[in-house]
Structure 1
Amino acid sequence: MSATIVVEDLHKAYGDLKAVDGVSFEVQDGEFFGILGPNGAGKTTTLEIVEGLREPDRGSVRLLGESPWPRNAKLLPRMGVQLQANSFFDRLTAREQIRTFASLYGVPDRKADDMLEVVGLADKADERSETLSGGQKQRLSIACALAHDPQLVFLDEPTAALDPQARRNLWDLLRDINGQGRTVVLTTHYLDEAETLCDRVAIMDRGRILSSGPPAVLVRGLDAPTRIAIESGVLPAGDVRALFPDATVEDDTVSLSIATRTPAPVLAALAERNALKGLSVSGATLEDVFLELTGREYRA
């Protein structure tokens, strides 16, 4: 596979703050690539440099074989950008919005209207954008980014502040976009989103990439216990601790959970005691990898 994006030793500072501190990665043609990190990790700044919206202090970016900075007009028709905040023209309908964006690239109205169908907004074409729901506005924003049929699409936290149903509906759209052969670069702090959508991810914090690879490979590389949960009250927590002294046992009055690296004998012992009511078994997830790398403290 050929590399659509090549980033090498990227740096960007604002005074003493190192927003991007030596970032390097590649994105292959047709790949769905995710950049993950807590608030302030440097995700958006990295993306803006790659898109050619910001000048790096040091390092290089190659985008479809070209440098995006200084602003490269040859790249603009080949990439679509959905920014973190929607910016629509006041008092225009959804149809008028997308036709306006499409006209910047010489795209005819008919083709722009077809994009509303692609993102499931054909029935909202004559509604003003300010009356649309959050999920519908995100779909319209993505439609505007796709109106000129770019081969590379950047999405900066497209599902932020959406309800669960709207998020999952948008996931289906993003899969379709990638399935049509487009390269997609996504920033998000929703770990389930990245695990579901991305072929590979890079986990960032404090301006650096801490780890990268396919989500499943990153999860397998984490030495994390299996979590076994049963309904609280099925067995006393003290008895469970005595049975499994090497496990971590917690009872929150709803579920009794057992974290163990030897799940088979634990499950067998619970079965022998007819204590499988409410049973659930789960392994490590991308969220566990993320927290292991970035820490658990809250950062606004």
Structure 2
Amino acid sequence: MITYEWLYILAGLFFLAWSLLSILDRSNAKRWGNAAFWGLLAGSFLFGSHLSDFANGVLVLAMVGIAGIGGLGRSNPETTSLEQRLNFSNLLGNKLFIPALIVPITAVAGTLLYNYTPFGETALFEERRETLILFGIGVLFALVAAMMWLKPPALAAAEEGRRLLDSIGWAAILPQMLAALGAVFALAGVGDIIGGIAGSIIPEGSVLLTVIIFALGMALFTMIMGNAFAAFPVMAAAIGIPLLVEDYGGNPAVIGAVGMLAGFCGTLMTPMAANFNIVPAALLELKDQNGVIRQQIGTAIPLWVCNVVIIYVGAFLLWN
């Protein structure tokens, strides 16, 4: 059976490759910092489930230390030349996106075939992990297809991946860090404290007001913590489950799914979501570091209002 653990191993091997390539890159003055950072991350993916919580915590603290002292640097490895890329662009045009499309097609089509054909009876994939596993398989298919089709240098894919990863730096793992932070906050009882405060100020039976505060809390906590996955455990424990689901009988699927979307509206408006908003500005060399955020605010606010309406109508008016 192919399990979720296989995906961690696959990701760990990629990070390990980038760590080894960093060691060999003498043009990068901070190659040892890059190698150590991605090597530690590789160790976390490859052996994290076999290590104690304390050991995993030490790995994370070591990575934070490397990033905190400015130990990461951008690399610029040689892969294909600019002339080769322009030739590919002129000859193939939008066909260059075919390898990228292989990934979602494999994940979606594979999931449907696995769940709605006798193939699913083989129990080849871990239950409820089929789509994620097929997503990883799709990445491998796309990589092989691109290498066979375009015939770049043997290490081009690995080096380009390293160049992009080094450009993003520590922000590449920000979503995982913030999601873990949200879980820590939830276990620490932050959600219960916020729930107690909300329960004392919201009039009993005010479903719409509760929905607004829930969605607003999702957006604000996301703006503070940088990721809706970090905000969700807190707001779900504070308002989503005890008030909207248990007290008012709302549809948990709508509240959970659209509540996350309300949080994502906060993602569009915060520099804390560095991998979404600050890194693109840096990669595009924009003069205004917050230029991406400024462009997104006009979309985020109306979208948040729509999410409030969807939760209220879908989870309560149409559900009850």
Q: Calculate the TM-score normalised by the size of structure 1.
A: 0.22
Question: RCO greater where, 1 or 2, for CA within 8 Å and sep 6 or more?
Answer: 1
Larger strand proportion of the pair: 1
Larger helix proportion of the pair: 2
Q: Calculate the TM-score normalised by the size of structure 2.
A: 0.21
